[in-house]
Structure 1
Amino acid sequence: MKNLKSNIYFKVGIIIFLILILMIPTSMVENLIHEREGVQLTAIQEVSAKWGKGQTVSGPVLSIPFDKYVRKYNKKDSIEELIKLKEWVHFLPETLKITGRIMPEKRYRGIYEVVVYDSKLKIEGNFTDLDFQKLDISSKDVHFDKATLNFGINDLKGIEKQVTVNWNNKNISFNSGTATKEVILSGIHAVVPISTDSITAHSFTTEIDLKGSQYLYFTPVGKTTDVSIRSNWNTPSFTGTYLPDEREISEKGFTSSWNILHLNRNYPQAWTGRTYNIDASSFGTDLLLPVDNYKKSYRVARYAILFLVLTFITFFFVEVMKKVFIHPMHYLLVGIAIIVFYTLLLSISEHIKFNLAYIVASILTISLVSLYTIAILKSKHIGFLLFGILLIMYSFIFTIIQLQDYALLIGSLGMFIILCIIMFYARKIDWYTIKLGK
């Protein structure tokens, strides 16, 4: 047994076995991070469901019903019948201008922050060239008296007051729902008077006070679409199909503007039926919280095997070079301390900023491992040496998670340097004759 205790290959095998065993609680920590992230998402959804979900304002779309006649062969009577069907033709505006202001605020569900907002939107534009002949529709088959102006709104709960539209200088109230689900599934509509003259222009102006959470998107349905948004939120993310042509972000908030042409999207100004989907072209602004501690915690947890391997290698080299013996149980306890670091980091970061949480959790873990080393080896020199090595290692990982774009490069270079140091100190060791302990 004494020979087995001092056998270097047996010790290496034990170390590898312990690392593999410790990867089990490491995976449990990663699952815990995902679970807590899921709880956060549930909290966001609960607040959003009561306040208003993320909003996408689509339209306006002018939808007009018409009669379509199709021939159908009746096998029973051996005759052709003329069947009348009701279909819809959809027109998009010639010009569309949207100006808006977003007033966000933070709400809390337990320990979780949720971004909600009030917004004031002014939407104006005009419809021209309602040419039915281009779509092979006869004017006599069109029900002009049932023309509707439709706006898409994801969550109607977010509408704060009655919405009216000034249509050709006439105020008309909107009703809930859309006249047809062919273009817009959820929204509001208003029955508007349409001239039978296809060259007559129809102008519109409306204002919508809309509540929502997380994001506000729009669809570029105008032949020319101009959108201008301003807010006092200073961490926006511009996403969707189009990025702003102009944007300015400061500590006081942001302003952004888009100019989009009908040539930039994959649907025309007029069509019939369910031919096209306008939602795929949406764009807008996400109101991001400055820090996502769960994603950062998960990134740190991915380096768990690196922490374990480097710490155990340090212990192993101490054994080899200082001629001391460290029991596998000591390795196991130190490994558990390293795993507990991730739960400390996760729990502390839910209450304070992530960077500060990382520093606190790191100092606690490094101090615990160093003091434990001093206690078992009766050597302050080795304890302080291990403290310095762990401090460098934790600082290195902290640097990596701050550099998202260069994380792989810096990580690869760091690993290369660590390997060089290990090979430098291992170059003169005679691995065939060495025995652990004195």
Structure 2
Amino acid sequence: MTEQSSSVAARSTSKLTDFLPRRSAGLKLLLVCALAVIMTIPAMLIHNIVYERSSGLDLAIAQVSETAGGQQSVLGPVITVPYSHMPDPTKPNHLVYGIAVAFAESGTAVSQVNVAEKRRGIHTIPVYEAQIDMAATFSPTALLEAVPEHAVPIWSDARLFVGVSDTRGIKDAVQASIDGRSVSMEPVSRSLNGDGYYRVPVAGVKLAGGRLDGLENSDSPFDVRVSLLLTGAQRLAVGPFAKDTTLTLSSNWPSPSFVGGFLPNQHNVGETEAGFEATWRVPYMARGIPGAGRNSDLNVITAWNQHDMAIQFIKEASPYQSIDRALKYAAMFIGFVFLAYFLFEATSQKRAHPAQYILVGLAQAIFYMLLLAFSERVGFDIAFLIAASMTVGVTSLYAANVFRARKYGLRALGIMGGIYALIYVLMRAESQALLAGALASFAAIALTMYLTRNVDWYGDDHATETA
């Protein structure tokens, strides 16, 4: 019984072996495609490493920003006065309180920003020190118009306010004056006073306030000047604190990024290596915020990317995004390399073992790890040149040995060089990545179809049988 079963199994195996030729180019191509898919697994693992290293950069930025003052938003001078109102004359003890807020008629801000790089581990993060001088012209009429009819202004609590996101970044006393008279500024918080009303308006930044004396006797426009020195990291923004606001900002940083709700009217970025200067102007109609109001939320002035004039001090684009983008095409590039080896095999009559394909695939995966490691230390472009040269060199030498001919090593050198040039394009040209990848894939398939037009995909045995 056992001998009979063995005989049946042997005949079945023999039929299967006859059906699958030993030197079938078609089966080898299917095997190569399967190996290319399998070799994307190491690339996926490297993707996790890229994510971890990128998270490390984010942590370093957060730590440095915390000590430097973070991404600062500045609120220019604003004047407020609380008021009380008796809605029911029969209840004189029942008072309703509010805060009248007046913005300047016109305002200018001039800022000189010195940027330096602070190292945290292997990362360098831009931090800045900004001197900001602001001037504003106020109209007492606008403030009085914000007070409701029959309400009583509480002039003793009239205040001048300025604000920043993080007061830890303020490095010197805030200097403020009205028509040349100094105003003492101190940190304030929004809380009820002993009489049951707020002196401080709602704001999205931390405020410093100074008491204004004699405001009730003023009937003509007056000038306010405020100077502050503060530090921060990455981003600096100034809100349009006046009906018509102009900001002039200069810095030693050569590669800024303009963000926020308003872009500069003019700048000279790229015209000099010494830094740049930019100018914003936000007119009243563009600002879209009333010049005075009651219980106004000052957060509307400094809210990110709404009305602010902002700039980011960025380094060269992070390599992590470029590497992550290239890893998304890893299967395609590994397939290109395997396809090149398969074409060498088909045209040279020399066979390459699947293990040799695996070794070549691992070399392609390790390329991304080399690129990641070097780019963190020497910059992306130099890192790519080093990693690509190492990978192209080893795969080309390996091709010369596998196919027993120097010409295949030289061909591999040219093909691999073209593949890695394409990888560089995909990493750098984000908007053109899909088009470049699609065209390269089509060209690779078209070339393969042409070079294999005379290949017997069934194999030598099948060809003999059909003959």
TM over 0.5: yes
Q: Deviations over 1:28-83 (max 9, x none)?
A: 21221121111111112111211221211113222221124456xxxxxxx99984
Residue aligning to 1:157: 168
Contact 2:25 2:455 in 1 (8 A): no
Q: Deviations over 1:210-252 (max 9, x none)?
A: 1111121111121110111111111111111111111112211
Amino acid at match of 1:423: M
Q: Aligned partners of 1:144, 1:429: CA distance in 2, in Å?
A: 95
- Cα separation, partners in 2 of 1:185 and 1:144, compared to 1, 3 Å: same
SS of the aligned residue for 2:215 comes to coil
Q: Deviations over 1:159-180 (max 9, x none)?
A: 1111121113210121113553
Contact 1:8 1:434 in 2 (8 A): no
Residue aligning to 1:67: 84
> How far has the Cα of 1:148 moved from its partner?
1.6
Q: 339-348 or 201-210: which moved more?
A: 201-210
Are 2:226 and 1:206 equivalent residues in the alignment? Answer: yes
Residue aligning to 1:347: 373
- Cα separation, partners in 2 of 1:433 and 1:162, compared to 1, 3 Å: same
- Cα separation, partners in 2 of 1:184 and 1:89, compared to 1, 3 Å: farther
Residue aligning to 1:17: 34
Q: Aligned partners of 1:298, 1:93: CA distance in 2, in Å?
A: 48
Are 2:53 and 1:33 equivalent residues in the alignment? Answer: no
Contact 1:218 1:283 in 2 (8 A): yes
Q: Deviations over 1:167-218 (max 9, x none)?
A: 1321012111355351343131112235336843232112111111112111
Residue aligning to 1:237: 257
Structure scoring higher RCO (CA < 8 A, sep ≥ 6) equals 2
CA RMSD of aligned residues (A): 2.6
Amino acid at match of 1:210: L
Residue aligning to 2:10: none
- Cα separation, partners in 2 of 1:195 and 1:140, compared to 1, 3 Å: farther
Residue aligning to 1:254: 276
Q: Aligned partners of 1:52, 1:336: CA distance in 2, in Å?
A: 45
SS of the aligned residue for 2:367 comes to helix
Q: Deviations over 1:84-130 (max 9, x none)?
A: 23222221111110011011111111111111111111111111154
Q: Greater Rg, structure 1 or structure 2?
A: 2
Are 2:455 and 1:429 equivalent residues in the alignment? Answer: yes
Residue aligning to 1:183: 203
Residue aligning to 1:282: 308
Contact 1:130 1:198 in 2 (8 A): no
Q: Deviations over 1:8-46 (max 9, x none)?
A: 443333323322222222122122112111111111211
Are 2:137 and 1:126 equivalent residues in the alignment? Answer: yes
> How far has the Cα of 1:156 moved from its partner?
0.7
SS of the aligned residue for 2:148 comes to coil
Residue aligning to 1:110: 121
Q: Aligned partners of 2:220, 2:22: CA distance in 1, in Å?
A: 96
Are 2:334 and 1:312 equivalent residues in the alignment? Answer: no
Residue aligning to 2:155: 144
Are 2:319 and 1:293 equivalent residues in the alignment? Answer: yes
Q: Please show how residues 376-391 of structure 1 align to structure 2 within 5 Å.
A: 376-391=402-417
- Cα separation, partners in 2 of 1:409 and 1:242, compared to 1, 3 Å: same
Alignment TM-score, normalising by the size of structure 1: 0.90
Amino acid at match of 1:365: T
Are 2:105 and 1:94 equivalent residues in the alignment? Answer: yes
Contact 2:24 2:457 in 1 (8 A): no
What percentage of aligned pairs have identical amino acids?
Answer: 24
Q: Aligned partners of 1:324, 1:86: CA distance in 2, in Å?
A: 92
Q: 393-402 or 336-345: which moved more?
A: 393-402
Q: Deviations over 1:132-165 (max 9, x none)?
A: 6644613652112111222120111111111121
Are 2:276 and 1:270 equivalent residues in the alignment? Answer: no
Contact 2:101 2:296 in 1 (8 A): no
Unaligned runs of 5+ in 1: 72-78
Amino acid at match of 2:251: S
Q: Please show how residues 387-402 of structure 1 align to structure 2 within 5 Å.
A: 387-402=413-428
* Larger relative strand fraction: 1
SS of the aligned residue for 2:216 comes to coil
Q: Aligned partners of 1:132, 1:98: CA distance in 2, in Å?
A: 22
Amino acid at match of 1:201: P
Q: Aligned partners of 2:37, 2:27: CA distance in 1, in Å?
A: 15
Q: Deviations over 1:387-412 (max 9, x none)?
A: 21101111122234333444444444
Amino acid at match of 1:150: F
Are 2:74 and 1:54 equivalent residues in the alignment? Answer: no
Amino acid at match of 1:233: W
- Cα separation, partners in 2 of 1:12 and 1:82, compared to 1, 3 Å: farther
- Cα separation, partners in 2 of 1:43 and 1:435, compared to 1, 3 Å: farther
Q: Aligned partners of 1:80, 1:119: CA distance in 2, in Å?
A: 52
Q: 106-115 or 422-431: which moved more?
A: 422-431
SS of the aligned residue for 2:74 comes to strand
Q: Aligned partners of 1:224, 1:292: CA distance in 2, in Å?
A: 37
Alignment TM-score, normalising by the size of structure 2: 0.85
Contact 2:172 2:229 in 1 (8 A): yes
